[in-house]
Amino acid sequence: MSAQVEEVRLALGHIELAAHLFGPADGLPVIALHGWLDNANSFARLAPRLKGLRIVALDLAGHGYSAHRPVGAGYALADYAHDVLRVAEQLGWQRFGLLGHSLGAIISVQLAGALPDRISHLALIDGVVPPTLSEQDAAERLGLALQAQLRLDGKRKSVYATLEAGVEARMKGMVAVSREAAELLAQRGLMPVPGGYSWRSDSRLTLPSPSRLHPDQAMAFVKRIACPTCLVVAADGMLARHTALLEQLPFEQVTLPGGHHLHLNDAEGAALVADCFNRFFGIP
């Protein structure tokens, strides 16, 4: 990673988050939000290539070195958005950009739609809106989520005998990543435990959400966004097959080769995404 990287901890009152700082102190303020079960190292290849930006790459609550939510709390999208606003308040940033991947992109879109006057730029990587649900399935969805919460009490986290085994498990996760990407995520994600190593992420992050937005509600956030927005679609990622959704988006869209983690899997992918976002932010 770049020599410019600085590790910080942000005490927000209700929770403490860890973050990496990239770029000049007087650069355009940007908060970077990673994907589900990833951490701030998601931007380890990309952020040093972005010019003129002061990037605060968070470990979202429950991920990496950041604290977990209290017992009884959950990980709703609105709670993540609140965390981001608290970070901005602490840094004195009235207006700031958002750089989001996957879950981080979803949080970014919701925050930019909810408070359009606060967000100056929106740079998204293979994510826009959360999975949606029809009205008639809402009750069943809540029931499944409640049952899963009860079952979680009896589950134990996986323990890997070696660091290498933990890295290989991440490579083969729900969204596969390259070995290099898994190793970067493991730097902030794996911790020693009796018998080996386990991932730091809060087990509650794997629970199904108790509610989902109707498609019209999800698009309402998109329609309220007032800032310049650029969406990178990974050719082999999650969004490319959702052509109907992509056609509805009033955003600049750029399709680049690679999978869902194209900005992290290798240097070539990170360079392509950086070239796209450097043009988007337009800073010499």
Catalytic residue positions?
Answer: 102
The secondary structure of 157-194 as a DSSP string is ---BSSHHHHHHHHHTSSS---HHHHHHHHHHHEEEET
Considering just the CA atoms, what is the radius of gyration of the chain in Å? 18
Residue 46 identity = L
- Sign, CA torsion 58/181/101/47: positive
Residue 198 CA to residue 189 CA, distance in Å, equals 8
Q: Decide: helix, strand or coil at residue 78.
A: helix
Element (H, E) at 122: strand 119-125
